[in-house]
Amino acid sequence: MEQPVQTEMLKARSLEELVRILHQIFAEDKVSVEEVQALMESYESNPEEWLKYAKFDQYRYTRNLVDSGNGKFNLMILCWGEGHGSSIHDHTDSHCFMKILQGNLKETLFEWPEKKMNGEMTKKSERVLRENQCAYINDSIGLHRVENISHTETAVSLHLYSPPFDTCNTFDQRTGHKHKVTMTFYSQFGERTVC
């Protein structure tokens, strides 16, 4: 990946400031993964600032667009009810940053299934991400499943994808078969999108 262009540690003191600094960073030609991850981690989650984007759905997790980054990135908030989880998915050659704003999320990493393989996908590792932690993944690292394993607490996470993408592949854990899906937004900029 690109070399870091700045060595100073940026800190975002509010969600608004985070968005502003992200715009600055992504306006450059080269962007450092470490810098973005550190910046996102530096923002101390303040529900008052993001509550208006946090729209939950009873049946599944939701994706709520916060900022469309001048086309360079998408910043969105995901809301996970108790027991809600994602399928195993890739990231369509983009960078994915995931920061926990509330609750906990379990991330399970998987190896890419081999072409000829017709058996169970290989789990690489798993971890539980705590509030304010920020994880990073891209296709060269592998695939992952994200889930809220709590039966009592909801979870909220802040995601940055660069470049933005609206399709990805989901994978069947038992066979490694993949299936392309289109992702949609439950809300954009705080407004519920009706489809």
Binding site listing: 89, 91, 144
**Distance of alpha carbon 172 from alpha carbon 156, whole angstroms:** 25
Shortest approach of other proteins to residue 12 CB, angstroms?
30
- Check binding of 83 to other proteins (CB under 8 A): yes
When the beta carbons of 4 and 83 are compared against other proteins, the nearer one is 83
- Window of 29-37, 92-100, 123-131, 149-157 that interacts with other proteins by CB under 8 A: 149-157
Cα-based distances in Å from 120 to 111, 128, 176, 177, 186: 11, 23, 7, 10, 32
- 151 contributes a contact to other proteins by CB under 8 A: yes
Annotated binding-site ranges for Fe cation: 89, 91, 144
Q: Is 177 in the site for other proteins (CB under 8 A)?
A: yes
Binding piece for other proteins, criterion CB under 8 A, among 7-15, 36-44, 67-75, 169-177: 169-177
| Residues ≥6 apart with Cβ < 8 Å to 172 | 88, 178, 179
**CB neighbourhood size of 124 (10 A):** 13
Q: Least separation, in Å, of the C-beta of 106 and other proteins?
A: 12
Which of the stretches 48-56, 65-73, 98-106, 172-180 binds other proteins when contact is defined by CB under 8 A?
172-180
* Dihedral (CA of 82, 156, 180, 94) sign: negative
Which CB atom, from 89 or from 159, has the smaller least distance to other proteins? 89
Distance between CA atoms of residues 126 and 162, nearest Å: 24
Whose structure tokens read 């759905």?
Answer: 57
Taking CB under 8 A as the rule, does residue 131 contact other proteins? Answer: no
Neighbours of 38 (CB within 10 A): 15
Q: Give 93's Cβ-side CA count (13 Å radius).
A: 0
Q: What is the DSSP letter of 81?
A: -
Q: According to the binding rule CB under 8 A, does residue 123 interact with other proteins?
A: no
> Does residue 175 touch other proteins according to CB under 8 A?
yes
Interface residues with other proteins (CB under 8 A) are 58-60, 82-83, 85-89, 145, 149-152, 170-175, 177-179
